[in-house]
Amino acid sequence: MTRVFFCIALTFSSVSAVAAIDPVATPTPVKVVITDNLPSPKPQPTPIIVGQKPAINKPSEPIVDPKPVPAMRPREVTVGKDATFREIKSMIADAKRQLQTRPITIASSGSVYDGVEFVRIAFKDTKSGDIDFVTLEKTAFLSTVSDKFSTSQNGRQLILKTIRGNGVNTPVTIIEPDGTAHLPLLVQYPRVTNKVYEETAYYISTHPGLVTPEVVGAGRLYVRNTIELARENLRSKGIKIDPAVADIAERLATVEHVDHLRFRTEEHARIYDDIFTLFALNEGDTYRYAVSSAGAGGLVQMIPSTYRMVRSWHPGVGLNADFVTGMRDHGNAAQAMLLYMQRTWNDLAKSPAVADAMLSGFATQKQLMAAGYNSN
């Protein structure tokens, strides 16, 4: 039993997180429909203007109010709560089209970036009903230390608060000094690594007002459909994935993105609502840029060595040879996850220690599979 105890102990938080999502058994298979209504699944690079400083329109340039007015925040930002999922998606698509027609110029010297990095946020102006924009330096955008005072493109005096600084996935609130709340929609974020510009990302975070029951439900369906579609694709290639394996894979595809600190300090349902909102609104680009300290990437947070191993087990499946691209492709990543989990379970089921643990009630199949996925 030592091996089982070791496996469970290593992944107690992950197993607990799996149980916290939904105690219901394997869901009835649903019709697989993957939607992607946002244009351009790949972020479009922003032009780099060599030898010039960042050119930002005067109204959008971040400013510090010489006489800051204390933020009169409402107790809860409810703007956007009455919008339907379709309406929210439409607003985001409109915001993205407008952002892409107004690129931020970036100063550079050759291929090395040496300018100040700017982030632009598209939001729905609740007074005018228009899409407006506000620009901040990236360091200010990511900082949670203090509120930021800025002026929007249309001249609104704004107070921005960063909820969690997490790269492209940084949620914010946008209000006016009188307490009027606006609805943040989309972030235009230049990705620069080691002073080298890579691309401009367009990402929707869990800004207050976007996390609605309908949006959360759409995110749950997206995850389920992604796993079921991957399972069907493998079945067509002669590989059977047990329903229980697919069920736990669906849960782990969510649990893998739970922040440990938030799990210990916040209501669990709220965290999962945030994750499902990301899936609903970003669809195929969700967690595109998520890479752990161990090098685990994308939807299923698999590390490169495990991915190579899965590809060597199943050369006929046709998994993408490139790790980064393969992990960013949700269908490809889900197939790799299912193949790994099915083989892991087949191996675990042969172990006398595992059989004893299940017969005695010490551990369930789901707990063992969650532990096995994380601690191997």
Per the prediction, the chain carries an average pLDDT of 81
Angle CA 76–139–196, to nearest 5: 135
pLDDT in tens, 301-341: 899 999 999 999 999 999 999 999 999 999 999 999 999 99
Look at residue 342 and give its three-state secondary structure: helix
pLDDT above 90 (res 369) = no
Lowest-pLDDT choice from 37-41, 166-170, 191-195 = 37-41
Q: What is the mean pLDDT of residues 45-56?
A: 37
pLDDT of amino acid 127: 94
Beta bridge partners of 187: 121, 203
User: How far is Cα 128 from Cα 132, in angstroms, rounded to an integer?
Assistant: 10
pLDDT of amino acid 296: 81
Residue 352's pLDDT band (cuts 50, 70, 90): very high
Q: Report the candidate in 130, 133, 128 with the shortest Cα–Cα distance to residue 99.
A: 133
pLDDT in tens, 138-190: 999 999 999 999 999 999 999 999 999 999 999 999 999 999 999 999 999 99
pLDDT of amino acid 368: 86
pLDDT in tens, 213-244: 999 999 999 999 999 999 999 999 999 999 99
The answer, as to whether pTM is greater than 0.85, is no
What does 236-296 look like in DSSP terms, one character per residue? HTT----HHHHHHHHHHHHHTT--HHHHHHS-HHHHHHHHHHHHHHHGGGTTTT-B-TT--
pLDDT above 80 (res 349) = yes
Residue 40's pLDDT band (cuts 50, 70, 90): very low
Contacts (Cβ under 8 Å, ≥6 apart) of 47: 103, 105, 106
User: How far is Cα 122 from Cα 167, in angstroms, rounded to an integer?
Assistant: 16
**How many Å from the N-terminal Cα to the C-terminal Cα in the chain?**
16
Residue 297's pLDDT band (cuts 50, 70, 90): confident
pLDDT of amino acid 32: 42
Share of the chain above pLDDT 70, in %: 74
User: How far is Cα 214 from Cα 89, in angstroms, rounded to an integer?
Assistant: 12
pLDDT of amino acid 335: 97
Residue 17's pLDDT band (cuts 50, 70, 90): low
What does 40-80 look like in DSSP terms, one character per residue? -SSPPPPPEEET------GGGS----SSPPPP---SS--TT
